[in-house]
């Protein structure tokens, strides 16, 4: 094949949060990063997916190119880290496996919490960023829209969504286990994005006593606080209100810790050592990990939340098996289309080349004394039948393909044996 689909990245299974946060992209950084990625020789189309659980590059690359090294070098340069610091955590998938991976991620089969709904919206957002940057083309447009369609099928044809909880609800479940009840507790949400909104819904649903919302954009904090009958506080005044919070959930963006060990130690004295529960859903992390060293403080980061959802694993996995069957069917269908991008032009060129030969030979016969008594339609009929019979087997093999390596060998063999593309190459080199 002249091009291939690849997915390269790290996720919550392959890399700890310490590695993922170094590679994470803020949304506003993605368009410029994509333009830099497209400068790499092998990359034709690309998108970047960066969430709290994963950082992935989805790309259409030139065949035979060492795309893996080029993408790793891009990530290292773009994030200002040494490639060797994260290379061992990276997975690289090609062809059908790359397609299957994106379909599974879109359908929330690869999430920390299987069936959580947020991931599809995040993928759509990052696809939109790639479109804005004009980094996508025919292949990735088709691939992402197919992924959205597959995710919808999985959600409607299986019970996977009903069996799962989101990371936000897992955080609230953990708070309930620590405090037993929440009706006399105050929760503070640091950040007012989608994850905080979901956490707010779960907190209200489980009877939280009061809710405080703070966000860098104060208007957004006011809006969320109004929706959930809470109190909005300016971001710069967060420290003043922290002493009121029994539960603190962070999901704000930014590179620096928003809450440090020293700040929490001071707040605990003001609270007379009443326990605090902090849940850090941010990547990069919002809260200093050293907070966990303090007494009467419970700090969990996004990786810790995975253990909260184990109870429903068996039910979710049964539904996941049904979802996997849907995904396999759709992978095969997409692969047939993608393979056709290379196979169909080769078959058309093959037929055209042989047809040109046939017509030249027919003209030679008709223009010679041997062709005086042979009608053109007879010659056309006989020679066309011969050509079709000769081409039937090779064209059938090309259409059937098989595994990516075999298919690529068939295509390359056909092109070389019949000299397809040689004239174009000669014309190009002559110019």
pLDDT higher at 242 or 312 = 242
3-state secondary structure (DSSP) of residue 178: helix
**pLDDT on residue 313:** 66
If you compute the radius of gyration of the chain from its CA atoms, what whole number of angstroms results? Answer: 29
Tens-place pLDDT, residues 36-72: 999 998 999 999 999 989 999 999 998 665 889 999 9
Residue listed under structure tokens 């309930």: 176
Confidence (pTM):
0.63
327: region left, alpha or beta (phi > 0 left; psi from -120 to 50 alpha): alpha
Mean pLDDT calculated for residue range 147-159:
93
Average pLDDT rounded to a whole number, residues 204-230: 94
Instruction: Say if residues 211 and 231 touch (Cβ distance below 8 Å).
Output: yes
Average confidence (pLDDT) over 362-381:
78
pLDDT recorded at residue 98: 96
Mean pLDDT of 183-206: 91
In the prediction, which pLDDT does 426 show? 41
277-307 confidence digits (pLDDT tens): 999 988 889 999 999 999 999 999 888 876 6
Catalytically annotated residues: 52
Cβ atoms of 52 and 282 within 8 Å: the answer is yes
- pLDDT tens profile 324-367: 999 999 999 999 888 777 777 777 888 888 888 888 888 888 88
Which pLDDT value is given to residue 428?
40
Q: How far apart are CA 5 and CA 358, in angstroms?
A: 38
**Range ranked top by mean pLDDT from 96-105, 175-184, 282-291:** 96-105
Per-residue pLDDT, 429: 37
């Amino acid at each position: 094949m002249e091009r291939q689909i690849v997915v390269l990245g790290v996720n919550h299974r392959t890399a700890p949060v310490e590695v993922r946060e170094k590679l994470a992209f803020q949304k506003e950084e993605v368009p410029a990063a994509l333009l830099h990625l497209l400068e790499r020789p092998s990359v034709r189309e690309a998108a970047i997916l960066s969430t709290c659980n994963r950082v992935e590059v989805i790309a259409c690359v030139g065949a035979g190119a060492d795309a893996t090294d080029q993408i790793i070098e891009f990530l290292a340069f773009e994030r200002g880290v040494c490639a060797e610091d994260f290379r061992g955590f990276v997975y690289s998938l090609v062809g059908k496996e790359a397609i299957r991976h994106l379909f599974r991620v879109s359908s929330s089969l690869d999430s920390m919490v299987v069936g959580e709904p947020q991931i599809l919206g995040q993928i759509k957002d990052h696809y939109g960023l790639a479109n804005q940057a004009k980094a996508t083309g025919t292949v990735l447009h088709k691939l992402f829209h197919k992924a959205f369609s597959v995710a919808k099928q999985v959600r409607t044809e299986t019970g996977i969504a009903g069996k799962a909880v989101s990371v936000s609800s897992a955080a609230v479940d953990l708070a309930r286990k620590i405090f037993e009840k929440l009706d006399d507790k105050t929760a503070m949400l640091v950040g007012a994005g989608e994850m905080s909104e979901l956490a707010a819904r779960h907190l209200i649903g489980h009877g939280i006593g009061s809710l405080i919302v703070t966000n860098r954009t104060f208007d957004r904090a006011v809006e969320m606080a109004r929706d959930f009958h809470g109190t909005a506080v300016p971001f710069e005044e967060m420290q003043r209100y922290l002493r009121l919070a029994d539960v603190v959930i962070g999901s704000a963006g930014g590179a620096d810790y928003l809450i440090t060990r020293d700040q929490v130690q001071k707040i605990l004295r003001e609270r007379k050592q009443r326990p605090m529960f902090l849940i850090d859903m941010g990547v990069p992390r919002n809260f200093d990990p050293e907070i966990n060293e303090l007494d009467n403080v419970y700090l969990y980061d996004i990786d810790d939340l995975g253990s909260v959802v184990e109870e429903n694993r068996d039910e979710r996995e049964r539904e996941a098996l049904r979802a996997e069957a849907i995904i396999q069917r759709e992978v095969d269908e997409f692969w047939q289309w993608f393979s056709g991008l290379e196979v169909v032009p080769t078959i058309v060129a093959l037929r055209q080349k042989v047809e040109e030969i046939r017509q030249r030979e027919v003209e030679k016969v008709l223009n010679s004394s041997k062709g005086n008594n042979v009608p053109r339609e007879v010659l056309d009929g006989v020679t066309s039948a011969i050509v079709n019979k000769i081409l039937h087997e090779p064209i059938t093999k090309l259409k059937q393909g098989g595994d990516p390596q075999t298919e690529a060998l068939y295509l390359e063999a056909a092109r070389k044996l019949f000299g397809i593309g040689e004239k174009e190459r000669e014309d190009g080199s002559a110019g």
